[in-house]
A and B are shown apart, each in its own frame.
Chain A
Amino acid sequence: MNAEPLVNPVVLFFASIFTSNILLSNFLGMCSFISISKDKTSANGLGLAVTVVMTICAAVSWLVLRYVILPLDIEYLSFIIFIIVIAAVVQMLEMIIDRVSPALYMSLGIFLPLITVNCAILGAILFMQIRSYGFLQAVTFGAGSGLGWWLAIMLLASIRKRTENNPVPAGLKGAGITMVTIGFMAMAFIGFSGMIAVQ
């Protein structure tokens, strides 16, 4: 196993929100990003759900990686195992939130199952594996990436709200202009890239 990179978890946390935003620098989690960013309420709910699931999944996956995958030398199966872990965590979270906080369940409700197939989650876990983060780094990276994703979808939802009445060529309406918008956002975020090393 490679040694842990010498990144302060706190720095990593902020880096993954701003300078290495998983959505805008890696373009992960695009499907729900585009389809759920039409209104801010839904975007907010999905962002919160992604953040919660990503943090917990990063922690659980780190444990599975460290204590099962690496000792048994089955890294070639890590994709499958991580996906199973994500699905199980989402399932359990759904049940627990339903019981503990019906209000939160209401706002997350339909988004939780959607997250099982959100590639940003799997992406964050795989980065964690490739960059050989330690446990604390993994958790802060997961939380940071989630918050970064949340930030990005809120930004996009606000932009879409403001531009929805703008004249757009017919062929670009909907997903088309949204992709262009995301491109501009990504370019803006590129200005931050490389300021902080994440590995």
Chain B
Amino acid sequence: MSPLLIGPLATGAISGLLALVIALTDRVVNNYGEVTVDINGGKKSLKVKGGSPLLGTLAAENIFVPSACGGRGSCGACKVRVLSDVGPHLPTETPYLNPEELARNVRLSCQIKLKADIRIEIPDELFYVKKFAAKVESIRDLTYDIKEVRVLLKSPASIEYVPGQYAQLVVPPYDDIPESVQRAYSMSSRPGEPDHVEFLIRLVPGGIATSWVFKYLKQGMDVDLVGPFGEFRVHDTPAAMICVAGGSGMAPFWSMFRDMKEKNTFPEKDIWYFFGARTTRDMFFLDELRALEKDMPRFHFVPALSEPKTEEGWTGETGLITDVLDRYLKEKIDPSKPKEGYLCGSPGMINACIAVMTKNSIPEGGIYYDKFA
């Protein structure tokens, strides 16, 4: 045989042989047989094949623990509490867990491999989370950097959720993004229209999901959603709602207010909605919200521009949204009535608003928010 062939053949043979040995080892060593996953003290019990990470195993059984990175251990969203002993926390988990979570043995479900029977605890709501196949019905520009994406659900054909909850948009691999990722977006649609879901998506420069939405997502395309998730919702108390949002933080409120009007839920609640933008270029839904203000006497809409341009003829409030909020809490909103805060926006805005609210005697436990970093 030609010496030119011997080398490659021998190298190939060695590689093949080693690959075979690895495959056999994998078959023998990684065969954990059938294991039982007990969820929430017997509420649900699954018999599954062991050897894979918990996150994927649960997803295959239609239990969707929230995850933004798809199981690569880079988002820290897929936390579950593990009651059985699965060994100490891995170095890949600890950066995402605080001391309290470490003490309660909260784990990242993408990092723990199912090797034996296991008992876990997840929020009950996750039982209702489903994966939806949907089709983009329309995409419209609300501002130069915010789009409203409206999708029609195909299978399952309808979704049940509470206004304020979010869903994860599944972004397929594109350009140099090699793996599918999921990103959470609050649903801006109304539960009263259960076959459609809408999102307000703002372009984050360099953002994986938003770049994909702005560059590739087109009308008629198929997309997948996982949801609903989240605790952000209207609380059933007589306290007035003081809502503050900026940019695409409009989404959960747009859903809440329209739902409250449609179903006349929480009729005793006064609603104050502060929406901050830099210039009129960043404002949207102004007419719709003003119309809502007319139809719903208990709803007060306060849009504010922080950098109004004189030629724009802005007649509303001006200044930073926190300053406007402070002014209203001190002067315009009845100080004797109980109030609770609802915030949606950047972490910086939320922290600043929490400071203003607590200063104006809204208890910190009564301030609810969705922080989107």
Where the two chains meet, the residues of A that have a C-beta atom closer than 8 Å to any C-beta of B are: 64, 68-69, 72-74, 76-77, 80-81, 84-85, 88, 91-92, 95-96, 98-99, 102-103, 106, 109-110
Are B91's CB and A109's CB within 8 A?
yes
Please classify how large the interface on chain B is, using the bins under 10, 10 to 19, 20 to 34, 35 or more: 20 to 34
Question: Which of A80, A92, A98, A110 is the one whose CB lies under 8 Å from B11?
Answer: A80
Q: Contacts A92-B25, A95-B29: A84 and B18 contacting too (C-beta < 8 A)?
A: yes
Q: A74-B7, A96-B29 are in contact. List 12 more A-B contacts (CB 8 A).
A: A73-B6, A74-B6, A74-B11, A77-B10, A84-B15, A88-B18, A95-B25, A98-B29, A102-B115, A103-B87, A106-B87, A106-B88
CA distance in complex: A106, B87 (Å): 8
B352 close to chain A: CB less than 8 A: no
Cβ of B90 under 8 Å from chain A: yes
- In chain B between 232 and 263, which residues have their CB closer than 8 angstroms to a CB of chain A? none
Interface membership of B157, Cβ < 8 A: no
Tell whether A88 pairs with B29 under 8 Å between CB atoms, given A72-B10, A81-B11, A110-B92. Answer: no
Closest CB-CB distance, A4 to chain B, in whole Å? 24
Residue B14, interface by CB 8 Å? yes
CA distance A99 to B26 in the complex (A): 10
Q: How far is the CB of B265 from chain A (nearest CB, A)?
A: 50
Least distance between B348 CB and chain A CB atoms (Å): 32
Q: In the complex, are the beta carbons of A92 and B21 less than 8 A apart?
A: yes
Name the one of B10, B11, B25, B113 contacting A96, with C-beta atoms under 8 angstroms.
Answer: B25
- Which of chain B's residues have a CB closer than 8 A to the CB of A81? 10-11, 14
Q: Look across to chain B and name the residue whose beta carbon is closest to the beta carbon of A80.
A: B11
User: Can you list, as one digit per residue, whether each of B74-89 has a CB less than 8 Å from chain A (1) or not (0)?
Assistant: 0000000000000110
Q: How far is the CA of A99 from the CA of B30 in the complex (A)?
A: 7
Are A88 and B22 interface neighbours, CB within 8 A? Answer: yes
B267 contacts the other chain (Cβ, under 8 Å)? no
B residues sitting closer than 8 Å to A (CB atoms) are 3, 6-7, 10-11, 14-15, 18-19, 21-22, 25-26, 29-30, 87-88, 90-92, 113, 115
- Expressed in whole angstroms, the Cα–Cα distance for A80 and B91 within the complex equals 32
A19 to chain B, nearest CB (A): 34
Within the assembled complex, what's the spacing in Å between the Cα atoms of A69 and B7? 9
B-side binding surface: helix, strand, loop or mixed?
A: helix
24 contacts between A and B (CB under 8 A): A64-B14, A72-B6, A72-B10, A73-B3, A76-B7, A77-B7, A80-B11, A81-B10, A81-B14, A84-B18, A88-B18, A88-B21, A88-B22, A91-B22, A92-B21, A92-B25, A95-B29, A96-B29, A98-B29, A99-B29, A102-B87, A106-B88, A109-B90, A110-B92
Q: Given that A77-B10, A81-B14, A84-B15 are contacting pairs, would A95 and B26 also be in contact in the complex, using a CB cutoff of 8 Å?
A: yes
Given contacts A74-B6, A91-B22, A99-B30, contact A85 B91 (CB under 8 A): no
Contacts of A77 in B (CB 8 A): 7, 10-11
- Known A-B contacts A80-B11, A95-B25, A102-B87; A85 and B18 likewise in contact (beta carbons under 8 Å): yes
- Return chain B residues, CB-CB under 8 Å to A103: 87
Closest B residue to A88 by beta carbon equals B18
**Chain A residues closer than 8 Å to B115, beta-carbon distance:** 102
CB <8 Å contact, B18 and A95: no
Q: What residues of chain A lie closer than 8 Å to B6, measured between beta carbons?
A: 72-74
Using Cβ atoms and an 8 Å threshold, which residues of chain B touch A72?
Answer: 6-7, 10
Task: Indicate the member of B3, B6, B29 with the most A CB atoms within 10 Å.
Answer: B29
User: Which 5 A-B residue pairings sit nearest by Cβ, starting from the closest?
Assistant: A88-B18, A99-B29, A74-B7, A95-B29, A77-B7
Are B7 and A92 closer than 8 Å at their CB atoms? no
In the bound assembly, the distance between CA atoms of A78 and B113 in angstroms comes to: 36
Q: Are A95 and B30 touching (Cβ within 8 A)?
A: yes
Return chain A residues, CB-CB under 8 Å to B18.
Answer: 84-85, 88
State the Cβ distance, B25 to closest chain A Cβ, in Å: 5
| Distance from B19 Cβ to chain A, minimum over Cβ atoms (Å) | 8
Chain B residues with CB under 8 Å of A95's CB are: 22, 25-26, 29-30
Shortest CB distance B340–A (Å): 45
Instruction: Determine if B21 and A106 form an interchain contact, defined as CB atoms under 8 angstroms apart.
Output: no
Contacts of B87 in A (CB 8 A): 102-103, 106
In angstroms, how far is the closest chain B Cβ from the Cβ of A63? 11
Q: How far is it, in angstroms, between the C-alpha of A92 and the C-alpha of B26 when the chains are bound?
A: 8
For B32, the closest partner residue in chain A by CB is A99
Beta-carbon contact of A68 and B22 below 8 Å? no
**Contacting residues, chain B, for A106 (C-beta < 8 A):** 87-88, 90
